[in-house]
């Protein structure tokens, strides 16, 4: 959410920011509502000031038994009804204004390149070389099914399409990946691990800007009006909602492994075959709360922390700076990390790292205070490190052997009791 003061002072900037993202912002309506709100607010407040003064006088008069009391009582009753009318008007304006403010997108940072689609994103760097094979590399779903790592059919039987099931070495491998990611974050990169609830309140979803604009993307649990988390970003960012943090505590860096649920209303197709784009998947997520001036440097560090996972695994990847049109509603600046899947012959997005400025902090009211100063909004950031299924897929495809087995990267063997290779299949 943007500050109303900011929109008053820079309406063109807000309009332009929305345009860059390919969206629109109801700036004129907001400014008009804001004017009306302030005018009715001023009237209400001066009536209240009058009521407050007169009430005090009423007390004095009635104690001294003055006859004027009855006259004053009538006057106050009339005042009060006028106040109630104004108050209702004010509340209506506030509600309308709030609704509109929540749908104004965060303008991109000035260094974000302009663009309208995926093609306009800018590759910042790549790591490792495209893997080479002396045979035709297979896609992960073929490898995994032959090795018995997946059971897609039974997953569908149990939960419906777009759910997956890992078994045997597959389940263990994903668990090993999860442990590696958590150990890197907590042991090497200085994140404190949290294990949050997987259901959150509506307020939390609004705080991270998953609502009100994207309600159809989330699974809604009617009992208690809660939502299955689409990412750990939601519960973890909201950890400090409505709080004023001591500046000495910043930066706060958290890592969380959670399942994530997305309703992903699109139809299945070529890009969704295999262990990808599921209603439920798991992810290791990094979340930071920082001082405004550290925000962008912390974003760079966050991306590096996520990259470290792929480097440790020896998987080729690229980092792209998202163009204005391809970054979400709430982001200020965003990088994607795409790992290469040789069997599919394309890159898969395994991480999305974003800085939000104070956009989320305003919505969730997360502030900090430095030694006796005024409270200020923190800046929030987050990114995956990494999404499990796609990292799993890239690993399978990168480390496949001609015989159809999977070599286990050095870094994972300790989590798999020394296992060096999965398979190859015997039939």
Partner RNA sequence: GGGGAGGUGGCUGAGUGGCCGAAAGCGCCCGCCUGCUAAGCGGGUGACGGGGCUUAACCUCGUCCGAGGGUUCGAAUCCCUCCCUUCCCGCCA
Active site residues: 262, 277, 349, 352, 390
Total number of residues shown for the chain: 427
- Core vs surface per residue 385-397: b (16+ CB within 10 A) or e: bbbbbbbbbbbbb
Residue placing its CB nearer to RNA in the complex, 3 or 221: 3
Which residues inside 81-140 make contact with RNA, applying CB under 7 A?
none
Q: Token digits for 119?
A: 């093609």
The answer to whether 379 touches 358, Cβ cutoff 8 Å, is: yes
Q: Binding of RNA at residue 222 (CB under 7 A)?
A: no
Q: If binding is defined by CB under 7 A, does position 11 make contact with RNA?
A: no
Minimum distance from residue 1 beta carbon to RNA (Å): 11
Give the nearer residue to RNA in terms of CB position, either 77 or 130: 77
User: According to the binding rule CB under 7 A, does residue 239 interact with RNA?
Assistant: no
Identify which of residues 334 and 367 has a Cβ nearer to RNA in the complex. Answer: 367
Does 31 bind RNA (CB under 7 A)? Our answer is: no
Q: What is the DSSP letter of 323?
A: P
Q: Per rule CB under 7 A, is residue 42 in the interface with RNA? A: yes
Binding mask 240-259 for RNA (x = CB under 7 A): ----x---------------
**Closest separation in Å from C-beta 79 to RNA:** 8
Does position 411 interact with RNA (CB under 7 A)? The reply is no
Q: Is 203 helix (H, G, I), strand (E, B) or coil?
A: helix
Whose Cβ is closer to RNA: residue 32's or residue 271's? 32
Residue 285 near residue 235 (C-beta atoms within 8 A) = no
For RNA, give the closer residue by CB, 244 or 308.
244
> How many CA atoms within 13 Å lie on the side-chain side of 63?
6
Sequence-distant (≥ 6) Cβ neighbours of residue 68 within 8 angstroms? 61
Least gap, CB of 208 to RNA (angstroms)? 20
Residues 128, 314, 328, 375: which binds RNA (CB under 7 A)? 375
Number of separate helices (H) and strands (E) present in the chain? 13, 16
User: d(Cα 403, Cα 71) in Å, to the nearest integer?
Assistant: 99
Rounded CA-CA distance 265/215 in Å is 11
Stretch that binds RNA, among 171-179, 289-297, 344-352, 366-374 (CB under 7 A): 366-374
CA distances (Å), origin 423, targets 142, 255, 314: 13, 33, 20
CB atoms closer than 10 angstroms to residue 65: 7
Candidates 13, 16, 31, 54: give the one binding RNA (CB under 7 A): 54
The stretch near RNA (CB under 7 A) out of 47-55, 267-275, 293-301, 343-351 is 47-55
Q: Per rule CB under 7 A, is residue 197 in the interface with RNA?
A: no
Helix, strand, coil percent values for the chain (each to nearest 5): 45, 20, 35
Chain contacts with RNA (rule: CB under 7 A): 3-5, 38, 41-42, 44-46, 48-49, 51-56, 58-59, 62, 73, 76-77, 80, 244, 367, 369, 371-372, 374-375
């Amino acid at each position: 959410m943007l500050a109303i003061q900011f929109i008053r002072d820079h309406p063109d900037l807000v309009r332009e920011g929305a345009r860059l993202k390919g969206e629109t912002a109801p700036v004129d309506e907001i400014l008009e509502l804001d004017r009306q709100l302030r005018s009715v607010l001023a009237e209400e407040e001066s009536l209240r000031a009058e009521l407050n003064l007169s009430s005090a006088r009423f007390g004095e008069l009635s104690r001294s038994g003055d006859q004027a009391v009855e006259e004053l009582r009538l006057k106050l009753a009339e005042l009060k009804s006028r106040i109630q009318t104004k108050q209702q008007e004010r509340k209506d304006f506030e509600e309308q204004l709030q609704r509109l403010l929540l749908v104004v997108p965060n303008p991109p940072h000035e260094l974000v390149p302009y663009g309208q689609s995926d093609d306009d994103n800018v590759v910042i760097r790549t790591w490792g070389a495209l893997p080479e094979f002396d045979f035709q590399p297979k896609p992960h779903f073929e490898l995994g099914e032959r090795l018995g790592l997946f059971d897609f059919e039974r997953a569908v039987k149990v939960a419906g399409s777009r759910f997956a099931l890992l078994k045997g070495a597959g389940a263990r491998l994903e668990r090993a990946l999860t442990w590696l990611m958590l150990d890197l974050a907590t042991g090497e990169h200085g994140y404190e691990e949290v294990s949050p609830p997987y259901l959150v309140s509506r307020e939390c979803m609004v705080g991270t800007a998953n609502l009100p604009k994207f309600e159809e993307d989330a699974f809604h649990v009617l009992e208690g009006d809660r939502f299955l988390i689409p990412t750990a970003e939601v519960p973890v960012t909201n950890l400090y909602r409505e709080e004023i943090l001591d500046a000495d505590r910043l930066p706060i860096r958290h890592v969380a492994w959670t399942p994530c649920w997305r309703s992903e209303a699109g139809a299945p197709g070529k890009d969704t075959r295999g262990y990808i784009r599921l209603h439920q998947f798991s992810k290791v997520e990094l979340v930071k709360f920082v001082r405004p001036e550290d925000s962008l440097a912390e974003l760079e560090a966050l991306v590096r922390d996520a990259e470290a996972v792929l480097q440790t695994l020896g998987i080729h990847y690229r980092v792209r700076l998202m163009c204005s049109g391809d970054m979400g509603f709430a982001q200020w600046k965003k990088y994607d990390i795409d790992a290469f899947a040789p069997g599919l012959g394309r890159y898969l997005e395994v991480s999305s790292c974003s800085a939000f400025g104070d956009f989320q902090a305003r919505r969730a009211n997360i502030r900090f205070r430095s030694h006796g100063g005024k409270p200020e909004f923190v800046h929030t950031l987050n990114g995956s490190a990494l999404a499990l299924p796609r990292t799993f897929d890239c690993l399978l495809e990168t480390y496949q052997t001609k015989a159809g087995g999977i070599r286990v990267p050095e870094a994972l063997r300790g989590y798999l009791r020394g296992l060096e290779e999965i398979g190859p299949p015997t039939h």
